Structure 1
Amino acid sequence: MKHILLCTDGSTFAQSSYQYAGWLAPRLQAQVDVLYVSDIRSQKVASTGNYSGAIGLGASRELLDQLVELEHERAKLNHQKAQLILQDAEQQLHAAGATQLRLIHETGYLVDILQDFEAEADLIMLGKRGEAAEFAQDHLGTKVERIVRASHKPCLITTRDYQPIERLLLAYDGSPSAQKMLTFLLASPAFKGLALHIVTVGKKADDVVAQAHLKEADQQAQAAGWQPICQFIPGVPETAIADYIETHQMHLLLMGAYGHSRIRRLIIGSTTLQLLQISPVPVLLFR
């Protein structure tokens, strides 16, 4: 991974993402592209329509001129806001350790514009929630969920509070996306020297298939020079993994996103979405 695309809105959660990007980028020797998108809807004002019969032709024209002027002023303010947010991101990223930076300002809709930059990115980073976080504290941000569903690249979803990463938790279920995650984890210079825990959750205590998945992950990790702590847990995946994170004070959750279907191509696993919502630590997802 040599190219990180960090999406920011300047919110509290974005501040934390700068610190995580500052931790990760030097370890990967990666460039960080910081993308801020001014939502085009914030620049649009209501049209006057044709009110000339109700308020008079002259008054209607005057109102239209005022609305056009207001739209121009909003565009200027949005541009100034974008520059301030990007300058703040640049300062914080430099302070956190990221040196290769590119600042990008676009106007439109983040989910749509992201497609233009995703192709050259190896990893997408963004905060779990955005500007409305204080009003929806128990929910995953709408833009975050849409990006995670739509993106074909690995996504790192960060939490409000930053903490240095020392202990990794891999939630392994044997799926192709989990295997991709395991392969990346074992080979990446970003995670060398960190403590690795691997957890597999089965439906019941004698789930031999799940236990076999855990064994194969353990064998691959040891063959790559790791000494992982492996744990099989019977129960509900999202609950068991969340409890493990809290009990063992994990710092980063790594897992595969899964659950594709022919009917709805942009679906990811329900367990994945629930863990994204409740996880107290950042989550790195592989498709």
Structure 2
Amino acid sequence: MNNKVIACIDDSQYAQAVCDYAAWSATQMDAPLSLLHVLDDIPRSAAGNLSGTIGLGSQEALLEELASLDEKRSKIAMEQGKVMLHAARERVASNGIAEAESRQRHGELLDALKDLEDETRMLVVGKRGADTASAHGHIGSHLEGIIRTMHCPVLIAQQSFSAPKRVMIAFDGSATAFKGVEMVAASPLFKGIPCHLVMAAADTADNRAPLDKAKAILNAAGFDTTATLVTGDPEKALSDYQAQENIDLLIMGAYGHSRIRHFIVGSTTTAMICRTRVSLLVLR
């Protein structure tokens, strides 16, 4: 059953904010929280082709020493992961989540997330990981793959957390955008938080009609909704509106049929995440 908020924990500077957003989200949705640390398989050492370089006995001794070092590195990495998960449990406990589950997995991050997808209601990840060469700080480098692969909302956390006071939905009038509006309306995640519904398009009757319809859906669900049409390039217009209105969290669909689609997915996904200065919830 997809009822859990799953927080991806690594050793990056975003880890505390991930814990805070995950705890806040789990509280808002009255959902169980699971803390996940995925340990990338550590490349094993190799002696290479030493034929003719050293004797057979020396080669066997070297291979045994390298195998021992691999085992030690693996154990150290596991212990470091356990320490991170312990710190994460303490962090979410300070935010009112007394019974967070913690898990440590080995292998590829995307594989682990796919295995857990059936129980994932929402995924929380940091905007960037630590050094991608690290066994722990690899989450940020996988963001585009996560967004493309997962079929649940993905909350991309900035480095610091504060409970959102204003949220903004980037709306393009498509069927997918309406689905996103309905998801927000039906979820307890943003209940009681003013919502700005923003469409980057010319101010015409044809564009105003779907915007008003989406606003009515949110109003019927009890949201205090401000609906706005902004003109100009969608990337700049949406970013400018977010800054001008002090929006704390941006909500977007992962797929659509307008220029916003190219703002969110495809080759510009990473650039969009880099430009966004607030946390971002990507809906699927």
Aligned to 2:261: 269
Normalization by structure 2: what TM-score?
0.89
Contact 1:124 1:154 in 2 (8 A): yes
Partner of 2:184: 185
Between 212-221 and 61-70, report the one with greater CA deviation: 212-221
1:137-286 counterparts in 2 under 5 A?
141-202=140-201, 205-259=202-256, 269-272=261-264, 273=269, 274-286=271-283
SS state of the match for residue 116, structure 2? helix
Give the corresponding residue for 2:91: 92
Secondary structure of residue in 2 paired with 1:35: strand
Count of equivalent residues = 270
Looking at structure 2, the residues matched to 39 and 96 of structure 1 have their Cα atoms a distance apart, in angstroms, of 29
Asked if 1:22 corresponds to 2:14, the answer is no
Report percent identity of matched pairs.
33
Task: Please give the alpha-carbon distance, in whole angstroms, between the structure 2 residues aligned to 1:237 and 1:100.
Answer: 42
The answer for unaligned runs of 5 or more in structure 1 is: 134-139, 261-267
1:264 is matched with none
Deviations 1:101-141 (A, max 9, x none): 110001111012211111111111101110138xxxxxx93
**Residue 126, structure 1, aligned to residue 125, structure 2:** yes
Name 2:135's counterpart in structure 1: none
Distance 1:34 1:100, change over 3 A: same
Using the TM superposition, give the Cα deviation of residue 187 of structure 1 relative to its aligned residue in structure 2, in angstroms. 2.4
Tell me the distance in 1 between the aligned counterparts of 2:206 and 2:11. 45
Secondary structure of the corresponding residue to residue 38 of structure 2: strand
Asked if the contact 1:168/1:251 (under 8 Å) is kept, the reply is yes
User: Deviation per CA, 1:19-69, whole angstroms, max 9, x where unpaired?
Assistant: 1112111111111111101110xx323311341421111211111011000
Q: For 1:208 and 1:132, locate their aligned partners in 2 and report how far apart those are by CA, in whole Å.
A: 49
Q: CA deviation at 1:197?
A: 0.9
- The letter for the 2-side match of 1:86 is L
RMSD, aligned CA: 2.0
Q: Secondary structure at the match of 2:97?
A: coil
Partner Cα distance (2:146, 2:100) in 1:
22
Question: Which of 231-240 and 46-55 deviates more?
Answer: 46-55
Query: 3-state SS of the aligned residue for 1:34?
Result: strand
CA contact (8 A) 1:171 1:253 kept: yes
Structure 1 length-normalised TM:
0.88
- Deviates most, 223-232 or 205-214: 205-214
| Inter-partner Cα distance in structure 1 for 2:131 and 2:53 | 38
Per the alignment, residue 106 of structure 1 pairs with 105
Structure 2 runs not aligned, ≥5 long: 133-138
Q: Report deviation, 1:243.
A: 1.1
* Deviation digits for residues 144-167 of structure 1 (CA, Å, limit 9, x no counterpart): 111111111111111112122111
Q: Is the 8 A contact 2:6 2:22 kept in 1?
A: no
Q: Equivalent residue of 2:229, what SS?
A: strand
Name the residue aligned to 2:57: 58
- Distance, in Å, in 2 between the alignment partners of 1:51 and 1:259 is 55
Q: Find the residue that maps to 1:171 and give its secondary structure.
A: strand
**Closer/same/farther in 2, CA of residues 121 and 57 from structure 1, 3 Å limit:** same
**1:11 Cα shift?**
1.2
Measured in 2, the distance between the counterparts of 1:141 and 1:269 equals 21
The amino acid of 2:187's aligned partner reads: S
Aligned partners of 1:201 and 1:237 also within 8 Å? yes
Q: Does the CA contact (< 8 Å) of 2:45 and 2:67 recur in 1?
A: no
Amino acid at match of 1:24: S
Separation in 2 of the partners of 1:285 and 1:237? 17
2:283 alignment partner AA: F
2:274 partner letter: Q
Name 2:136's counterpart in structure 1. Answer: none
What residue in structure 1 maps to residue 8 of structure 2?
A: 7
Q: Helix, strand or coil: the match of 1:160?
A: coil
Q: Which amino acid aligns with 2:70?
A: E
Moved over 6 A (4+): none
